[in-house]
Each structure stands twice: as structure tokens, then as C-alpha cells.
């Protein structure tokens, strides 16, 4: 049986899925057709129901929960891993002064409407509504070229913005942790509810085994990871993996599920996402 599988070319995802798609573990008769895309493109494909299994932002999951169920394996949650709001010309103090004076038309570059990063921004800065969607890797350049006033960065840009004399306004992950005491849920792996329950459970089991294999053999997938890392510095590549792949990637567990439930409860209370009727998890 062949299933379509979407995930990003970022090191955390290629680290997780290397053993699965290269048959370093027994895939129990399943084959995978891999689609590599940035997370917002994957979000859009999930909204259209185009993939059997896909990585997506938890924010986007709220809009497709009737069609997809969340797997326990493969998710990206953690502490100290949140998106950063940065600027080239404003400091935290000057931004606070502008917002207090009623200025709300600042141009904000975001990595996608349905990203968890945008959800957190909506909670922390609800008045910042002049948002421009762009590929996450282009946000730093847009700030330097004065095309936007503020930028919401994710992934490896956490490690590179300071080298470009960009200024951190707020770490939204830290904001979330202080607000809730929970790990921040960034992205998860979902599976189409149309697939047989047995297949859903098998896929979850295989992804968990793939993560466990990667932890046990961290050098095994290095060529595959580097191939898709787009000239990323190797030290940054390893930091990326260490930051986003952890115990929650093996199994959400009670803590991980609590963090996700908290995210959706807060989002629904603030009318950021629609009410969800379905059970979230497989």
C-alpha cells in the first residue's frame, strides 16, 4: 500500500523521517510517496485534503480536524523553541510606545496565515493586523530592505538573525510558556481519517520507530539531512534538530496533549479558530 507523505526539507523533519522512507526500519508493507514543501504550503495542501499523511502547523490543524487525526509520533513541541518577533529599526521599548500611542498599521511579515507562529502573534499582539504572508526564509531580507517593519521568524532563522543586526522584540515561545506553563506546540503529523484505523495505528507506530532509530543512530541520515538543508551551516543544522526533535516527537504523552489542548482552548476563546467537534487524536 502506497501513501502520500508530506513534510518539510528542514533538518528536524528529515531527521525524523529518514529511517521510514529509506527502509531502515520494517515498514510492514507500506510505501511512501514523499512530498517536500515548506510548512505553510503543507498547511494549504491539508486544507484541500491532498495528502494521506502530512506535517502541518497546529494552528492549521484546527481547520482540518474533521478530515485529519493527529498522530502521537512526529510532532514538534518544546520549551525555548518558539517563533521570534524581530525588527531592524524598532526595539521592544520603541514598539511598546508606538502601540500604546495607537499605531497599529505596522507592516508585519509572517510565515503564513495558518502557522502556529501567527496564532501566537495574534494572542500576544492582537492589534497588529497589517500582516504580509511570505516564505519564512525571506523575512529577514524583507526587514533589511525596509519592506516590512516587523518580522515573525521560525526554524533556522532563530540562529541567524543576530548576524544581520536584527533586533529581537519578543520570543513568543517564552511568552507562551509564561502564559500557560506548557511546552509550545508548533507542528504535528496528521493522517487522513478515511484510512482504516489499522493503517492509522501502523503509520503512527512506524513514525515512532523512525524517530527512535534516528535517536539511536544520529549519523545514519546525515547525508539525506544535509542534502535538503539548503547550504545550512552544519552547526545550525544540528542545533535545529536538537531544538525541535525531543521526547514529544517520539510520543506526545500526557504533557504534549495537555499543551495542544491548551492551545486550542485559548484559540477558541479568542475566536482565532473555529470550534472543533472531533476527537483530535487517533
Q: Which residues are catalytic?
A: 155
Q: CA–CA separation, 172 vs 82, rounded Å?
A: 6
Does the annotation flag 128 for ligand binding? Answer: no
Does the annotation flag 55 for ligand binding? Answer: yes
Does the annotation flag 117 for ligand binding? Answer: yes
DSSP state for residue 281 in the 8-state scheme: B
Instruction: Give every strand in the sheet of 108-110, ordered side by side.
Output: 131-133, 108-110, 150-153, 84-87, 167-171
Say if residue 112 is exposed, middle or buried (CB neighbours under 10 Å; 0-12, 13-18, 19+): buried
Q: CA–CA separation, 191 vs 281, rounded Å?
A: 10
Does the annotation flag 56 for ligand binding? Answer: yes
Does the annotation flag 116 for ligand binding? Answer: yes
Q: CA–CA separation, 212 vs 250, rounded Å?
A: 7
State the pairing for strand pair 131-133/2-7. unpaired
Binding residues: 55-57, 116-117
Binding residues for substrate: 55-57, 116-117
Amino acid at each position: 500500500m502506497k501513501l502520500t507523505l508530506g513534510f518539510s526539507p528542514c533538518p528536524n523533519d528529515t531527521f525524523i523521517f529518514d529511517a521510514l522512507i529509506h527502509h531502515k526500519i520494517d515498514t510492514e508493507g507500506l510505501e511512501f510517496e514523499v512530498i517536500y514543501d515548506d510548512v505553510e504550503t503543507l498547511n494549504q495542501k491539508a486544507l484541500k485534503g491532498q495528502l494521506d499523511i502530512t506535517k502541518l502547523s497546529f494552528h492549521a490543524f484546527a481547520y482540518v480536524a474533521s478530515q485529519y487525526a493527529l498522530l502521537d509520533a512526529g510532532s514538534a513541541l518544546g520549551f525555548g523553541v518558539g517563533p521570534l518577533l524581530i525588527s531592524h529599526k524598532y526595539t521592544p521599548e520603541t514598539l511598546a510606545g508606538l502601540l500604546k500611542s495607537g499605531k497599529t498599521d505596522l507592516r508585519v511579515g509572517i510565515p503564513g496565515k495558518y502557522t502556529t507562529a501567527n496564532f501566537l502573534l495574534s494572542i500576544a499582539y492582537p492589534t497588529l493586523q497589517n500582516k504580509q504572508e511570505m516564505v519564512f526564509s525571506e523575512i529577514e531580507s524583507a526587514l533589511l530592505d525596509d519592506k516590512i517593519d516587523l518580522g515573525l521568524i521560525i526554524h533556522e532563522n532563530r540562529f541567524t538573525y543576530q548576524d544581520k543586526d536584527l533586533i529581537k522584540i519578543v520570543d513568543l515561545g517564552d511568552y507562551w510558556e509564561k502564559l500557560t506553563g506548557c511546552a509550545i506546540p508548533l507542528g504535528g503529523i496528521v493522517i487522513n481519517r478515511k484510512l482504516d484505523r489499522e493503517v492509522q495505528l501502523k503509520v503512527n507506530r512506524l513514525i515512532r520507530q523512525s524517530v527512535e532509530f534516528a535517536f539511536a543512530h544520529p549519523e545514519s541520515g546525515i547525508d539525506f539531512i544535509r542534502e535538503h538543508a539548503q547550504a545550512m551551516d552544519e552547526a545550525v543544522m544540528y542545533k535545529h534538530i536538537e531544538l525541535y526533535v525531543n521526547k514529544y516527537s517520539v510520543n506526545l504523552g500526557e504533557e504534549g496533549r495537555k499543551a495542544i489542548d491548551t492551545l486550542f482552548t485559548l484559540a477558541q476563546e479568542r475566536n482565532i479558530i473555529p470550534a472543533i467537534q472531533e476527537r483530535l487524536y487517533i
